[in-house]
Structure 1
Amino acid sequence: MRIRISDPTLRDGQHAVAHQLSERHIRLYARAANAAGVPIVEVGHGNGLGASSLLIGKSRVSDRCMLLAAREELTSSRLGIHLIPGFATIERDVRPAIELGVDVFRVASHCSEADLTRRHIEFLRGEEKEVHGVLMMSHMAPVTVLVEEALKMQSYGAQAVIIMDSAGSYMPREVTDRIGELCGALSVPVGFHAHNNLGLAIANTVAAVEAGARLVDGTARGFGAGAGNTQLEVLIAVLHKLGYETGIELTGMLAASDLAEREFVHTLPFSKSMSIISGLTGVFSGYAKPVEQMSREYGVDPLEVFYELGRRRVIAGQEDLILEIVLDLAKRKGA
């Protein structure tokens, strides 16, 4: 059975380096991933197309520059992007991406807000592009809601629906149950994107595949937000050992991962204290760096910040609340 792999090393990995991958980094890795036979290589700002900003984080190079560089290197792999309506507008961002040769568009929303993706998905299907719907922070909704939201995306024209464990909080049994329910309800392929906060990214991704997922994500050396993503070279080895086909040549993927570590993965991701608390409290993994920086600046405990973010059920895109919480904790500390 063939499992399709999407590799967001050059997108989710941006979270780990404050969105500072260079054009050279993008070219080097895209060329290596292409040589290894990676089906989809996802490129862009960590929060997706059009997200570069002072609040979220400024990319080192523009969306246009990143996509052009990757497009020139990807001769057989398909070029993918992640986009969140609100960050990415159709006229300013999506049309230019189509013109630059993007093959796969992943249109994302918070897990209970699929309605926000309708215009973008319908537009892209009208342009005859491959479109996947993505439900982020999927642990925050019961499976009945995930099914309802996924069915909406399917009705808009999404050709696959992916759920993201954005906080790295799932247990394998939870993944099995959710993916199983989605596969039973949808007529399009179901996908899974894991984070490794609790050290379960490989186990959870395998659980997703065995429950019926046919599209899964992984990054070189696990390069990504917080404790990182599913480590792609390990995932490929495990899937091949289990008898699944990926179309990726393992030796080539090992070379691509070695290159990534040598060139830009300067600190290998692992489950730090903050990542573990992020997973336990269900807080978006991408908040690790800004929480760490702001906590250090104001002399507060970053773990307390994560506990408060979890208590407030903060979701991706609410970065302004990090500073509010840090300042409140600093005020209480000085009182």
Structure 2
Amino acid sequence: MTGSALARPLPGTPERVADVRVTDVTLRDGGYLNGHAWTADQAHAVVGAVAAAGVRRIEVGYANAGAGFPSRVLLGELVAAAGPATVVMMVKPFGGEPDWAALAGHGVGAVRFPVAVARAGEIGPVLDRARRAGLETAVNLTRVSSEALDAVVEAAAAAAELGAGTLYVADSNGSLTPDSADELVRALCAAVPVPIGFHGHDNLRLALANTLAALRAGASHVDASFDGIGKGGGNLVLELLLAYLRSRGRHDFTLRPLAPLAEVLREETATRRRQESAAWAAGVFDLDIDQAEPLFSRSLDHILAFVDAAPHRGPDRTGDTDTPTLPDPRRTEVT
């Protein structure tokens, strides 16, 4: 048997590499590591490099009224720098809506709305306003690992019926496994008449495996960021994803244009590395990353003591709302 034979996809379960659409989330999700305080030079470097690498959807920040990044002038510049790529922005749907016509006028092509599963039925009016401005729309259902499968499917169907053009599921807590990602995406593809996307976080070092499982199950949109920078455990590593897809025949992707970002994003990459120990602990126990924030200020010793003291989770987390007590960052010990 040759070495390459072992690396082939399993028979009958090929990843959908030919038509997968990649969205880069470096500036948006990676912005959680620096307070969304990107400089114009950093933003230009990211958009230019990612576009040159062949990524055709680039998410550059939040578009809500009052969001500080990017400015209107910088947004116009980033749209120009993106070339043929569609510039995407995230919009928190229940307050501070942007001027939709102005957003489209600046060249933004698509918006995505992060929505809790329980609130998916409320998204209709804001979707309608964005669509009327000529924007592509997508709904990102958040923290799906902490929800029952039926509830996620019902919420996805509701969002699609209300006008979502694409339906993403976000592994916000970084707690899914390939089996659960496969089950979830298969159920969504069977029930929802719009394209399905997957946004993976890498708390358990499973973002690539989960994403490939989602693609085999029928997803056609996936997210990634340079070096995986992003909230909590970070995202799927963009250069890893593109390398995998290129090795499977997607020669529209190329890696070398991303090289300069190693220096441009050096501080954000270092921050991600500092968060890794706490992030995997949060992923193991399916903790809301915002609620798990005290873990990020703790030493490795304290994080490991927290894991030792946490209750047994059992083989099936569905419907389980019990969570371990997080360490108080003001204390010097975890007992």
> TM-score scaled to structure 1, two decimals?
0.79
**Which residue in 2 is equivalent to 1:49?**
63
Match of 2:286 in 1: 282
Letter in 1 for 2:164: A
Give the 3 Å change call, closer, same or farther, for CA 237–332 of structure 1 in structure 2. closer
The answer to which of 188-197 and 117-126 deviates more is 117-126
Matched, 1:236 2:242: yes
Q: 2:79 corresponds to which residue?
A: 71
Matches within 5 A, 1:214-225: 214-225=220-231
Matched position secondary structure for 1:175:
helix
Q: Distance in 2 between matches of 1:34 and 1:86?
A: 31
Equivalent residue, structure 2, for 1:263: 264
Say if 1:233 and 1:250, in contact at 8 Å, map to a contact too: no
**How big is the shift at 1:52?**
6.4
- Residues 275 and 66 from structure 1, CA distance in 2 versus in 1: closer, same or farther, beyond 3 angstroms? farther
- Structure with greater proportional helix content: 1
Shift of 1:87: 4.5
Q: Which runs of 5+ in 2 are unaligned?
A: 1-17, 312-319
Amino acid at match of 1:219: S
Q: 1:126 aligns to what?
A: 132
The alpha carbon displacement at 1:155 in A equals 0.9
Distance 2:33 2:167 in 1: 25
Identity %: 26
Q: Which residue of 2 aligns with 1:147?
A: 153
Give distance in 2, aligned partners of 1:199 and 1:191: 19
2:9 corresponds to which residue?
none
Change beyond 3 A, Cα 1:290–1:120? farther
Q: Distance in 1 between matches of 2:189 and 2:127?
A: 20
Going from structure 1 to structure 2, the CA distance change for 1:63 and 1:88 (only over 3 Å counts) comes to farther
Instruction: Say if 1:96 and 1:127 are closer, same or farther in 2 by CA, change over 3 A.
Output: closer
Q: How far is the alpha carbon of 1:134 from its aligned partner?
A: 1.0
Following TM superposition, by how much is the alpha carbon of 1:113 offset from its aligned partner in structure 2, in angstroms? 1.4
1:73-88 to structure 2, matched below 5 A, reads 73-88=81-96
Match of 1:322 in 2: none
1:180 equivalenced with 2:186 (yes/no): yes
- The alpha-carbon distance between structure 1 residues 37 and 88, as it changes in their structure 2 partners (threshold 3 A), is farther
Contact 1:88–1:94 under 8 Å retained in 2: no
Tell me how far 1:157 sits from its aligned partner: 1.3
1:11 is matched with 28
Number of residue pairs matched? 303
Residue by residue over 1:36-67, the C-alpha shift from the partner in whole angstroms, topping out at 9 and shown as x without a partner, is 221100011xxx333867xxxxx5x4443442
Task: Please provide the CA RMSD for this pair.
Answer: 3.3
Which structure has the larger Rg over C-alpha atoms? 2
1:227 CA displacement: 2.3
TM (norm. structure 2) is 0.79
Judged with a 3 Å threshold, the aligned counterparts in structure 2 of structure 1 residues 175 and 126 are, in CA distance, closer, same or farther, namely same
CA distance in 1, matches of 2:303, 2:35: 18
Question: Is the partner of 2:161 in helix, strand or coil?
Answer: helix
User: Is the Cα contact below 8 Å between 1:139 and 1:282 reproduced in 2?
Assistant: yes
* Pick aligned residue for 1:33 from 15, 28, 50: 50
- Counterpart residue identity of residue 264, structure 1: L
User: Could you tell which deviates more after superposition, 167-176 or 263-272?
Assistant: 263-272
CA 1:111–1:9 in structure 2 vs 1: closer, same or farther (change >3 Å)?
Answer: same
In structure 2, the CA distance between the partners of 1:332 and 1:259, relative to structure 1 (3 Å rule), is closer
Counterpart amino acid of residue 249 in structure 1: F
Corresponding letter in the other structure for 1:36: A
